[in-house]
Structure 1
């Protein structure tokens, strides 16, 4: 809560659903991220440069590791992505790199 005070309560968010998409710009060992960066946790820090939140959750059971989506789920993801607004993030906050 200290890092993300406005985060919704766990029990209030949908489970068993795809809620959006994000882009992994790069990844690096956590120790190669900006010192003290709160999201740089262990062994690999994925640098997220943009994300979208879907307006409607897409039902998806999921599984361990990677799994295939069904055709109707892919169509829904594409439909939601076409109408979504992209949020861009300043990756220098995580990397400490000068841009």
Structure 2
């Protein structure tokens, strides 16, 4: 009778998955400084465009009578209400104002 030699299994080594070439960090070369004289500084002849700020005028409800009674028109400014002949004006979520 022959005796079998015990088989010792080798431990499994996990495979290392490399990221895609596009996702790898690439080494970025340093850009030469102005002191070296390789690059001349460029001045933009045009000024950068600034966005204009628009102020939003508050809209409200115009009333025929004082103390905000009797609706004349809605979604109008205070000056529009005054020109239509309104006696009071109320901003959305605000207090009643006499004109």
TM range (shorter): under 0.3
TM-score by length of 1: 0.23
> Which of the two has greater strand per residue?
1
> Which of the two has greater helix per residue?
1
